[in-house]
Structure 1
């Protein structure tokens, strides 16, 4: 562990442009996070020569300096003590950084702020569904039979695991409603209400909508002669996002115009009633149609030209991570899972993450600088477990060619998975343990893709790195 001296911390501050250039600063588990007034004042070369620093990069409007787990908090405390900069929360830094974002970046940030808080529940559900797949999938342990078909006394346990795992997806609109309304400035408890309202058991289940439409049996409300479809929005993303925005903004408006003495009696009932009417009459049907159109487009690509779909998504996913736009695809994954029972995109994401880890591993053997070697080793482990930012920004993009090698490897793996129609019924850990969240019948193809993502980027990086060194 590098010694934390006052001089080293001062050097970090000076390298990011001095304390006058720092609008706000915080830290996460491994990195210092700065919202800077002018990123052009950063001396990246000088910064990364400091012993404490293992890498640096700019992402989502924040300049992030990789320090390392168990030491970054001490560096941050010393920086606050030396500079007199006030402590800031992650939200403070995000909000400060957002001021310099364009409309598209702010939109993606909004989606990120909504979906990141609910990811632990979704990933946990995905892992538990993987455990259920092990017990119920045919051909895993016994030929043409599942584990519970042979060991019937395990059936009850498998069913209980399935209930626990499916809960987060069954009540997904409630989770999104809570997070979205909170993000938009409203009462998150009302967000839970609007989300659960959209999956009320008295409504026609969204999964039964297609059959009911074909049989002309969709129930309706008669609102003074105007008929409104009485359907739910199980597993849907867009309807609850838009309704949550309306609810939050309406609540804020009402609080400004209703006296404090009667707010408790009037604000929530009026906000929920109006939002509910607007949701069932307009927002739900319109966004439901948009969501199905997006789903249909992606399904058409992966059904008709799967190699193209796998090549593009596999080769471009890491580029989306650089811009932060990968967060927007969480909503698409949820939509695909709810509409078709599985997503083509998430398994390819796993390949991209593994490929980034593989080139970082190659750089650990190639690098002569001990800081780069150490960062490459630790970031390899993180990438193989689904967290690629340290590997990408700390190592791969710094040397450029490893990043390109990772794109090539993940594109090839993406083609293999797409042509093999590999799908995931849930989102899990986006790394090597990701196979648990894949349909068991696709494990063989998934493991072939994983082998490609592990080997091809590593070999390409190692060979190209050796050749580049010899030329130098």
Structure 2
């Protein structure tokens, strides 16, 4: 087995040498390399390097999949060889010039939302645990009933489960300012202004318990609790405005005038123009999503389950973060999560079938951990390292995703959170849905595994590849 310095040297050689590397960084699972000349990259040599689970070129980056933990050590070994790494923000700036306008827009959208996801994951877990602990059967173990649960305990759980969504615009505006080059603390305050207690609460307005404040008799002013798009575009415009003002305002007055003008101008724009328009657009997108999820006879699960991993390949799947946030905010649950869970698990089942069936020790060593990674919710190693290489396993995984998505829709499964799936995702279903959730995953893995084992892979494919 090769050492990490040896792997790093092999990667540099296969990528075309140090002179072909423009910049290099890494994320949780991949080594991301910006190259000067893509033609100099020897993809086959890279894929044959020990511990490499796959490699592909996308949006200006040559991405080599090593998996969590391993990629950090390989990157450290690369740096020890004298290759200067770049920060992820630097490499994002380089890659932002690559791809079409839609791909760049989705990539930026992802850059804003990815830092927020951990707190939303934690909130979803709190919701799941609250659902478990407040079940009548569980309360009975402690001699309690739903009516005997102390109000203070209910209040404490509400603090855990509601805070992130109440102040979601503040999180989004903070992250948008950070991504678009503004001062994040100004974005945070702007986002907090959008949910100020002085404004009519958005939820109270939706329930009819409060009325909007109307300016000029036709502009409705409300708070934006739980909204995403108004805060996102307020952050975008606000960051651009701040950068423009800093170029015009003398340095002696910059500390005082710039934050003052940014907040004054942006809260006016946000409440009178950006907010009302984009809140309406947000509602339209949400209604379209509901229409798809409400298709009868399990069609929604069938369609989403069959196509989700295709969308992951394109790299634009970060758009789903916004949709899941909207579902949780408006419905209080997430029917999208169990469907995509099946799609992810099925790709893991297909990779597991390849691992079991192949006689190649190298492919086994690649496919087994790739399948495990998928069962933990990360499919890139399974897709790019195994299934997509031989195509048929990937297709069989899509069929498994369609079957399990259909079942998830029929069972009307509803996740309590987002962003975690398969084994970790179990924590979002710690209630009466747990057996349905386990059944959906079993069907996904079973169909993906069985179809791949019987029809999707033979060792002859190794020769053809």
TM-score, normalisation: structure 2: 0.91
* Cα distance in 2, alignment partners of residues 24 and 262 from structure 1: 38
Query: Is residue 2:243 matched to residue 1:252?
Result: yes
1:238-387 paired onto structure 2 within 5 Å: 238-305=229-296, 307-387=298-378
Aligned to 1:90: 88
Aligned residue among 125, 130, 138 for 2:123: 125
Verify the 8 A CA contact 2:359 2:459 in the aligned structure 1: no
Aligned to 2:175: 179
Verify the 8 A CA contact 1:173 1:236 in the aligned structure 2: yes
Verify the 8 A CA contact 2:242 2:258 in the aligned structure 1: yes
Q: Deviations over 1:332-376 (max 9, x none)?
A: 111122223233222212111211221122222123333321222
Aligned to 2:159: 163
Q: Deviations over 1:60-105 (max 9, x none)?
A: 43222234555544433443444x4322112222222222221111
* Cα distance in 2, alignment partners of residues 240 and 425 from structure 1: 24
Pairwise CA RMSD: 2.8
Verify the 8 A CA contact 1:27 1:73 in the aligned structure 2: yes
1:14-93 paired onto structure 2 within 5 Å: 14-67=13-66, 70-82=69-81, 84-93=82-91
Q: Tell me: CA distance 1:237–1:301, structure 2 relative to 1, closer, same or farther (3 Å).
A: same
Larger mean Cα displacement after TM superposition, 429-438 or 239-248: 429-438
Q: Give the Å deviation of 1:428.
A: 4.7
* Cα distance in 1, alignment partners of residues 239 and 387 from structure 2: 41
Verify the 8 A CA contact 1:181 1:248 in the aligned structure 2: yes
Q: Tell me: CA distance 1:72–1:345, structure 2 relative to 1, closer, same or farther (3 Å).
A: closer
Query: Is residue 2:400 matched to residue 1:406?
Result: no
* Cα distance in 2, alignment partners of residues 155 and 428 from structure 1: 30
* Cα distance in 2, alignment partners of residues 468 and 368 from structure 1: 7
1:213-224 paired onto structure 2 within 5 Å: 218-220=211-213, 222=215
Verify the 8 A CA contact 1:47 1:53 in the aligned structure 2: yes
1:132-147 paired onto structure 2 within 5 Å: 132-138=130-136
* Cα distance in 2, alignment partners of residues 147 and 203 from structure 1: 43
Q: Deviations over 1:119-173 (max 9, x none)?
A: 111111111111111012456787xx99952694677545423421322122111
Unaligned 5+ runs, structure 2: none
Query: Is residue 2:427 matched to residue 1:436?
Result: yes
Q: Tell me: CA distance 1:447–1:38, structure 2 relative to 1, closer, same or farther (3 Å).
A: same
Q: Deviations over 1:234-285 (max 9, x none)?
A: 1111111111111111111111111010112111111111111111111111
Aligned residues: 463
Q: Tell me: CA distance 1:228–1:40, structure 2 relative to 1, closer, same or farther (3 Å).
A: same
Larger mean Cα displacement after TM superposition, 131-140 or 169-178: 131-140
* Cα distance in 2, alignment partners of residues 304 and 376 from structure 1: 36
Q: Give the Å deviation of 1:210.
A: 3.0
* Cα distance in 2, alignment partners of residues 141 and 446 from structure 1: 22
Verify the 8 A CA contact 2:139 2:146 in the aligned structure 1: no
Q: Deviations over 1:383-417 (max 9, x none)?
A: 11111111211111112111111110111111122
Query: Is residue 2:187 matched to residue 1:191?
Result: yes
* Cα distance in 1, alignment partners of residues 102 and 77 from structure 2: 36
* Cα distance in 1, alignment partners of residues 289 and 454 from structure 2: 36
Larger mean Cα displacement after TM superposition, 461-470 or 228-237: 461-470
Aligned to 1:2: 2
For 2:317, what is the secondary structure of its paired residue? helix
Q: Tell me: CA distance 1:366–1:57, structure 2 relative to 1, closer, same or farther (3 Å).
A: farther
Verify the 8 A CA contact 2:301 2:408 in the aligned structure 1: yes
Aligned residue among 403, 412, 416 for 2:407: 416
Verify the 8 A CA contact 1:132 1:162 in the aligned structure 2: no
For 1:87, what is the secondary structure of its paired residue? coil
For 1:325, what is the secondary structure of its paired residue? coil
* Cα distance in 1, alignment partners of residues 261 and 230 from structure 2: 20
For 1:427, what is the secondary structure of its paired residue? coil
Q: Give the Å deviation of 1:54.
A: 3.6
Verify the 8 A CA contact 1:350 1:432 in the aligned structure 2: no
Verify the 8 A CA contact 2:422 2:441 in the aligned structure 1: no
